[in-house]
């Protein structure tokens, strides 16, 4: 039989085409097959704060490197700052749809509930709870619940998330506002609906007649908080799972790569610094105040600058502070330096420096400069930050005064030698100046006494020294002792 020859180039073409088809089908099937899918677990634990928001943003960037990955938020929090919670919500909404699950174990309260509803699906551990999102603020009388002005924008955010995920909107709104009374309505055809009292009152009479049973789920004056069984019954939670592995098994995922994203040591340190920021601010401001009131630049000033730098750095790393706040803070420190080294005392330069430092720290603790009237909690956050910083400043002044009065006199000088081993006790060297004054004479300081300086006594100018006191220029003084050729004075008490 005669064979018809086939060109070699055609054979190679068809073989390459077959290999490309096999590769495409293999890639397509592996993309659709959940086996081997990457699962990232992101813990949401402790107080919701800017540090947590920065951590979750970093975790999102890591998890979304694989477009088919699944992200699970493991939530255990009583809530925290509303601005940080809203920032986390915005981060979670950047994930592809249907690729995020909130796993509540054991609680998602207040801001934690808002974060949980930002995920595409919700699952809960046995006995876990979710809800109670009423905005509150600390006052002198303890926690107080904020009014409708604050509840309205938060309720709108909850409503948008509920509509996105198909949750009953009245139930979600009842987590925020206790004035909501919510009913569960069942009709003869088995349909279940949830309505608040106003919605039910507005129903046409024929729709009301179709209601077979009406049950009150949330009474007026209460905030909705659900455990896992109730959340499933109300259509909020898709399942109750004992663990994340149990959750994945119930989803039909048998083969997967589980990665738990943890906070780095630097992120944990930033959150720790944010928690003790008021203490660091007090120490920092006290150090600067002591440095202004004492000659030269020493340990108190260095410690003060270091503490304030830690506070600023922590806020910069979580995205609240930027170069504007940095330049304000540096300008304040420069003005204090001018006050210490160029213009001794505490005048306009020192006052302006402290004001700039306080303003810089306040702005570094928030992501806005002027509060937006449409975001009511920004004004309260500004007031809270101002109270924290000014409170730290007042405490710093008190601590600085106590340090100067009781601690500095007990600190021995540490100048380099050589020294004379013998003291000059018993030596006597009267001068012409000391013969012109005597104990009990009064006058006024002509310069700053820190502790030595110039003073006018009996219409003459003398070199004087105080005992462990720093007196401002113009302070009335009184001679208390003549020691050799030294005139020792202290502040004259007003009659």
Q: What pLDDT score does 437 carry?
A: 84
For domain 434-491, which architecture applies? Beta Barrel (2.40)
Tell me the H-state helices in 71-210: 82-92, 111-117, 148-165, 169-174, 197-201, 205-209
**Rounded to 5 degrees, what angle do the CA atoms 391, 396, 401 make?**
135
How large a percentage of the chain has pLDDT more than 70?
Answer: 80
**Rounded to 5 degrees, what angle do the CA atoms 161, 167, 170 make?**
90
Length of the chain as a residue count: 495
Q: What pLDDT score does 150 carry?
A: 75
Average pLDDT over residues 386-390: 85
**Rounded to 5 degrees, what angle do the CA atoms 233, 235, 237 make?**
90
In contact, 290 and 317? CB cutoff 8 Å: no
Among the four given CATH numbers 3.30.420.40, 3.40.50.2300, 3.30.70.940, 3.90.226.10, the one describing domain 34-131+228-263: 3.90.226.10
Q: For the ranges 38-42, 203-207, 468-472, which has the lowest average pLDDT?
A: 468-472
Q: What pLDDT score does 343 carry?
A: 64
- Average pLDDT of the chain, as a whole number: 80
| Segment 329-372, tens digit of pLDDT | 888 888 877 776 766 555 677 788 888 888 888 888 777 777 77
Residues 246 and 371: their CA atoms lie apart, in Å, by 45
What the block records as the tokens of 410 is 């007990």
CA atoms within 13 A on the CB side of 286: 19
Q: What pLDDT score does 182 carry?
A: 92
Residues 470 and 453: their CA atoms lie apart, in Å, by 10
Q: How confident is the model at residue 8 (pLDDT cuts 50, 70, 90)?
A: low
Question: What is the three-class DSSP state of 79?
Answer: coil
Q: For the ranges 144-148, 366-370, 388-392, 410-414, which has the lowest average pLDDT?
A: 410-414
| Segment 82-105, tens digit of pLDDT | 888 999 999 999 999 889 999 999
Average pLDDT over residues 145-157: 79
For the cut 60, the answer to whether the pLDDT of residue 419 exceeds it is: no
Q: Supply the angle between the helices 376-402 and 277-293 in degrees, to the nearest 10.
A: 40
Q: Which of 397, 395, 394, 335 is nearest to 360 (CA)?
A: 335
| Segment 66-87, tens digit of pLDDT | 888 999 999 999 988 888 899 9
| Segment 201-245, tens digit of pLDDT | 888 888 888 889 999 999 988 899 999 999 999 999 999 999 999
Q: What pLDDT score does 427 carry?
A: 42
Residues 379 and 446: their CA atoms lie apart, in Å, by 47
Residues 79 and 85: their CA atoms lie apart, in Å, by 8
- Cβ neighbors of 312 (< 8 A, separation 6 or more) are 321, 325, 326, 329, 360, 361, 364
Tell me the H-state helices in 144-298: 148-165, 169-174, 197-201, 205-209, 228-233, 244-250, 265-275, 277-293
Q: What pLDDT score does 415 carry?
A: 44
Q: What pLDDT score does 422 carry?
A: 46
Q: What pLDDT score does 23 carry?
A: 52
For the cut 50, the answer to whether the pLDDT of residue 405 exceeds it is: yes
What the block records as the tokens of 117 is 């509803």
Average pLDDT over residues 169-180: 90
What the block records as the tokens of 187 is 């009709």
| Segment 247-300, tens digit of pLDDT | 999 999 888 999 999 988 888 888 888 778 888 888 888 887 777 766 555 677
- In terms of DSSP bridges, do strands 121-124 and 100-109 run parallel, antiparallel, or are they unpaired? parallel
DSSP 8-state symbol, 407? I
In contact, 470 and 451? CB cutoff 8 Å: yes
């Amino acid at each position: 039989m005669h064979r018809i020859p086939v060109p070699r180039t055609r054979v190679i073409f068809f073989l390459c085409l077959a290999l490309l088809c096999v590769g495409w089908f293999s890639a397509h099937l592996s993309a659709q097959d959940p086996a081997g899918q990457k699962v990232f677990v992101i813990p949401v634990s402790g107080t919701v704060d800017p540090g947590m928001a920065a951590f979750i943003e970093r975790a999102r960037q890591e998890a979304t490197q694989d477009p088919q990955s699944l992200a699970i938020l493991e939530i255990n929090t009583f809530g925290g700052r509303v601005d940080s919670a809203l920032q986390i919500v915005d981060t979670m909404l950047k994930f592809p749809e249907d690729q995020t699950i909130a796993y509540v174990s054991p609680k998602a309260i207040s801001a934690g509930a808002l974060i949980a509803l930002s995920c595409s699906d919700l699952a809960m551990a046995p006995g876990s709870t979710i809800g109670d999102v009423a905005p509150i603020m600390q006052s002198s009388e303890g926690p107080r619940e904020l009014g409708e002005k604050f509840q309205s924008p938060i309720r709108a955010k909850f409503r948008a998330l509920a509509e996105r995920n198909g949750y009953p909107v009245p139930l979600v709104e009842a987590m925020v506002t206790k004035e909501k009374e919510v009913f569960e309505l069942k009709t003869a055809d088995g349909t279940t609906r949830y309505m608040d009292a106003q919605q039910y009152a507005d129903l046409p009479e024929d729709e009301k007649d179709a209601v077979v049973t009406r049950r009150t789920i949330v009474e007026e004056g209460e905030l909705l908080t659900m455990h896992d069984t109730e959340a499933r019954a109300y259509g909020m939670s898709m399942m109750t799972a004992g663990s994340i592995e149990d959750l994945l098994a119930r989803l039909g995922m048998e083969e997967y790569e589980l990665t738990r994203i943890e906070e780095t040591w630097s992120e944990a340190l930033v959150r720790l610094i944010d928690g003790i920021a008021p203490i660091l601010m007090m120490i920092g401001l006290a150090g600067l105040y002591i440095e202004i009131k004492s000659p030269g630049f020493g340990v108190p000033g260095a410690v003060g600058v270091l503490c304030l730098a830690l506070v600023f750095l922590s806020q910069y790393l979580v995205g609240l502070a930027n170069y504007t706040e940095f330049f304000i803070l540096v300008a304040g420190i420069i003005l204090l330096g001018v006050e210490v080294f160029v213009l001794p005392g505490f005048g306009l330069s020192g006052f302006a420096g402290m004001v700039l430092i306080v303003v810089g720290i306040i702005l570094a603790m928030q992501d806005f400069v002027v509060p937006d009237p449409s975001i009511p909690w920004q004004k309260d956050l500004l007031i809270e930050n101002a109270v924290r910083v000014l409170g730290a400043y007042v405490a710093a002044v008190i601590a600085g005064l106590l340090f100067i009065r009781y601690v500095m006199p007990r600190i021995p000088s540490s100048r380099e030698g050589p020294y004379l081993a013998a003291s000059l006790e018993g030596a006597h060297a009267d001068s012409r100046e000391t013969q012109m004054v005597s104990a009990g004479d009064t006058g006024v300081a002509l310069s700053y006494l820190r502790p030595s300086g110039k003073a006018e006594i009996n219409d003459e100018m003398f070199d004087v020294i105080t005992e462990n006191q720093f007196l401002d220029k113009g302070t009335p003084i009184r001679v208390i002792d003549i020691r050799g050729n030294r005139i020792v004075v202290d502040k004259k008490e007003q009659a």
